[in-house]
């Protein structure tokens, strides 16, 4: 007997940003495997009696291994249960979705993917700016700020990331941004390019700080903090 897995994007944290379909799947789930950033008020939509399993990964904290999370998904589904894998933002953007899909396909378990509000879009909205800007920011690019070991990825397309006409959003990049900023400036990106540090977007702890690429790099070299954050830079970030 095989169950069914719904990969649900929970948005950036505000439960009012959940889609109607996401709420429906949470109410009908037998088990919910959730990330840290998808906890709190969002879980109030889960029906009483459902299993709640925290499987979130946070930098610098003890976290479950990915193969363990994938195995849990398979095991719950093999019991015939309706399972929700709750991921922050949109599950298809730096959410380790592919590894979990592979595990389900290999086990022959059906699934669906329900998109959520991407945290990058929520960060731009919180800052009161668009992700694109006519005539000056025609392209949007998302990039991860660290590799599997926590370091700045060595295979980044620095020429693209230093494009002064692009809207760039760096996920999970607070610790590595000083190094990235040095590389971008060396590639020709002006140090005074507008930048935004958006932390704990859409929650009560939200903090939006406007700066420049050079100034933000200096700030993060001195103090990182533990709030989840996105870094946005480019001509669109001037607001």
Mean per-residue pLDDT over the chain, rounded: 93
| Residue with tokens 């879009």, as numbered in its chain | 121
pLDDT over 70 (residue 61) = no
% of residues, the chain, pLDDT over 70: 96
| Assigned CATH for 4-114 | 3.40.1010.10
Residue 206: burial class (beta carbons within 10 Å; 0-12, 13-18, 19+): middle
Are 4-114 and 119-237 equal in CATH topology?
no
Record the pTM.
Answer: 0.92
Q: Which entry of 30, 35, 90, 163 is annotated as an active-site residue?
A: 35
Quote the pLDDT of residue 138: 83
User: For the segment 139-156, what is each residue's pLDDT rounded down to a tens digit?
Assistant: 999 999 998 888 999 999
In the three-class reduction of DSSP (H, G, I as helix; E, B as strand; rest coil), residue 45 is classed as: helix
Q: How confident is the model at residue 60 (pLDDT cuts 50, 70, 90)?
A: low
CATH H superfamily, domain 119-237 = Tetrapyrrole methylase, C-terminal domain (3.30.950.10)
Question: Which residue, among 89, 121, 152, 157, has the nearest Cα to 236 in the 3D structure?
Answer: 121
User: For the segment 150-173, what is each residue's pLDDT rounded down to a tens digit?
Assistant: 899 999 999 999 999 999 999 999
Q: Which entry of 24, 36, 57, 179 is annotated as an active-site residue?
A: 57
27 carries an active-site annotation: no
pLDDT over 70 (residue 58) = no
Quote the pLDDT of residue 59: 55
Domain ranges of the chain: 4-114, 119-237
87 carries an active-site annotation: no
Question: Which residue, among 191, 183, 239, 179, has the nearest Cα to 215 in the 3D structure?
Answer: 191
Mean pLDDT within 44-56: 94
| Residue with tokens 């900023």, as numbered in its chain | 181
State the pairing for strand pair 207-212/194-199.
Answer: antiparallel
């Amino acid at each position: 007997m095989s169950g069914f897995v719904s990969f649900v994007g929970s948005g950036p944290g505000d439960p009012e940003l959940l889609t109607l379909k996401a709420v429906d799947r949470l109410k009908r789930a037998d088990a919910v495997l959730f990330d840290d950033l998808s906890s709190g008020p969002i879980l109030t939509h889960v029906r009483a009696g459902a299993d709640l399993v925290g499987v979130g990964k946070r930098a610098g904290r003890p976290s479950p291994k990915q193969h363990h999370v994938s195995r849990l998904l398979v095991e719950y589904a093999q019991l015939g249960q309706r399972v929700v894998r709750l991921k922050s933002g949109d599950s298809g953007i730096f959410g380790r979705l592919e590894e979990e899909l592979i595990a389900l396909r290999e086990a022959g378990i059906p699934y669906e993917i329900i998109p959520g509000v991407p945290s990058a879009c929520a960060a731009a909205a919180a800052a009161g700016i668009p992700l694109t800007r006519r005539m000056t920011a025609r392209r949007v690019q998302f990039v991860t700020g660290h590799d599997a070991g926590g370091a700045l990825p060595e295979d980044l397309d620095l020429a693209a990331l230093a494009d002064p006409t692009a809207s760039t959003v760096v996920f999970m990049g607070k610790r590595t941004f000083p190094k990235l900023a040095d590389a971008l400036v060396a590639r020709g990106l002006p140090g005074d390019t507008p930048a935004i540090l958006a932390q704990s977007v859409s929650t009560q702890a939200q903090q939006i700080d406007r700066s420049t690429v050079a100034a933000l790099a200096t700030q993060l070299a001195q103090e990182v903090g533990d709030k989840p954050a996105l870094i946005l830079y480019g001509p669109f970030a001037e607001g």
